[in-house]
Amino acid sequence: MGILEDKARARRFYKYLSKVYDRVNPYIWNEEMRSRALDMLDIDHDDRVLDVGCGTGFGTAGLLEYADQVTGLDQSIHQLEKARAKFDGDSVRFTRGDAERLPFADDSFDVLWSSGSIEYWPNPVRALQEFRRVVEPGGQILVVGPNYPPWPVIQQFMDAIMLFYDEEEAQRMFEQAGLEDIRHRAMGPAHFGDLALVTVARSPVD
């Protein structure tokens, strides 16, 4: 387990990263990549949408291009403070919470988006099971995570920091969580290659 796959350490990390996050993020996860990921979803304007690990609201802003209202959740109060300052309260509701213990009732959402968060979860499968619980049957779930680099030395370094995984591991985690219709797409900025792995799935219809 990487050093940031610990919730207390991750909160401390984002306390400081939140000060520069909006300047650093575009070099890793930019608007073009966000648009390509959003194109993998089918979102109606009246869908109930949840952004897990919303951070300062970069994913939230993209989701609002499709949906009238979005709920954003993050465990970092510092990231949430930045996010709340950006949005009209009528279109977004932010709440502090844990991806592995979502504070929502069953079947509360039609679409769930999570970008740049899975790498900090101590138990990704548990979080994906929570996603399945809060998304209505047949609802869509999209997760953006860090794609496993192809170089062994870099792999060892990254593994010591946080979770990295490849398409095979993503497929295993999503299947273990009971999700269906799983699709993957690697993407990244031109200067870094395919840094991100986007996985889309559906909550099963009973």
The CATH number covering residue 86 comes to: 3.40.50.150
6/19 Cα distance (integer angstroms) = 21
Q: Does a structural domain hold residue 2?
A: no
Backbone angles phi, psi at 162, to 5 degrees: -160, 180
Whole-prediction pTM = 0.83
Per residue in 160-194, pLDDT (tens digit) is: 455 677 899 999 999 999 999 999 999 876 666 66
pLDDT at res. 188: 77
pLDDT in tens, 31-55: 999 999 999 999 999 999 999 999 9
Residue 1, in any domain of the structure? no
Per the structure, the complete domain to which residue 189 belongs is given by: 7-202
Q: Report in angstroms the alpha-carbon separations of 64 from 42, 50, 74, 116, 154.
A: 13, 11, 17, 18, 36
- Total domains in the fold of the chain: 1
**CA-based nearest residue to 197, from 140, 144, 120:** 144
